[in-house]
Amino acid sequence: MPNRFPIYELFLRLYPKRYRQQYADQMVQTLADMLEDQSGRSGRLMVWLRASSELPVGIVQQNITSIGEKSMNKLAATTNKRLAIIAGVLIVIVAAVALHKWTAYTAIPNSTGFFYKNGIHATLLDQNRQLTNPMATLYGGLPGGLPLAKYDCNTQAPKGIPMTVYCQSTMRAYAKLPQDDTGKQRILQDVATIEAALKAQGYHGGGNGVTLSSLVSGTYEGKDYSPDAYYEKVVDKRYDCVFDTTVAYANPQPAAISTQFWCTRSINLLGIPHHNTYQSGKGTPAY
């Protein structure tokens, strides 16, 4: 039997001798043919995943069949040895899957975040400063106080392959809107100031027909908007910054709004280009 796939062929030795002599070469050739039919890395990976998942099942089934055919005086010793080997194989497979998940969804984002946290957090604070601290403008006079920025990273892993790590620094605030006339006028003026600052700093939004001013005014009128008041800007071609306000509830009174301001950096592990939601000067944002 040609030594084409050493690890795969090593596991084939766990099949009963008679079965191995009859089918091992054919199984190796079938695997080779399936791999040759795949032109991309992901396709070959799927072939290996299928082969590795079917292998333990086949080993167990054929060994059980082989055991049943053996004489009773050899049954106990053979069973214990084969089952121990099979159990070891299954443990290795389960451990490999667990290690892969831990690596993809914990180790990779955490280690990546360690290198990019300061830059992303500094970008959010700088954008907040350039907008003359819109959170303080809007929420400084409302119950609940000012938000603190929080940081996290997560991995996009289609088909189990880590592709992109998204690291993000975020400010979130939620507050009930004042209902007295003086409070209403102050909030509406503050909202107009923030909207003008967003425009002046190059943030694009309102492509869905909802602006920050129209959302807040509509909230006072009892309207529950579905689209957000969403503004986005690409900073230094590396950071995607978003100022997003939603209606927490308009009815029953009193009305409330929820605002998020975040900056994200996408780190492409396999070198695949990332396209921001909005690229300056090339269209309207996706809502």
DSSP 287: -
Q: What is the pLDDT of residue 261?
A: 94
Strands (E), the chain: 150-156, 164-176, 204-205, 229-235, 239-249, 256-268
Please report, for the chain, how many H helices and E strands are present, in that order.
8, 6
Alpha-carbon distance 237 to 280, whole Å?
10
Sign of the torsion angle spanned by Cα atoms 281, 283, 284, 287:
negative
DSSP 14: T
Q: Do the Cβ atoms of 66 and 18 come closer than 8 Å?
A: yes
Query: Of the candidates 227, 233, 202, 201, which has an alpha carbon nearest to the alpha carbon of residue 212?
Result: 227
Alpha-carbon distance 21 to 17, whole Å?
6
Alpha-carbon distance 234 to 283, whole Å?
13
Q: Do the Cβ atoms of 240 and 267 come closer than 8 Å?
A: no
SS3 state of residue 97: helix
Q: What is the pLDDT of residue 123?
A: 94
Query: Of the candidates 74, 65, 47, 63, which has an alpha carbon nearest to the alpha carbon of residue 11?
Result: 63
The pTM (predicted TM-score) of the whole model is 0.62
Query: Of the candidates 142, 168, 164, which has an alpha carbon nearest to the alpha carbon of residue 155?
Result: 164
Q: Do the Cβ atoms of 269 and 162 come closer than 8 Å?
A: yes
pLDDT one digit per residue (tens) for the chain, 287 residues: 456 778 878 888 888 888 888 888 888 888 888 888 877 777 777 777 777 777 787 888 888 877 766 655 565 566 677 788 888 888 888 888 888 778 877 888 888 888 888 999 999 999 999 998 888 888 876 655 566 788 888 888 777 777 888 999 999 888 888 888 998 999 999 999 999 999 999 999 877 889 999 999 998 888 887 789 999 999 999 999 999 999 888 777 778 888 999 999 998 877 654 444 443 333 333 32
CA 14 to chain CA centroid, Å, is 38
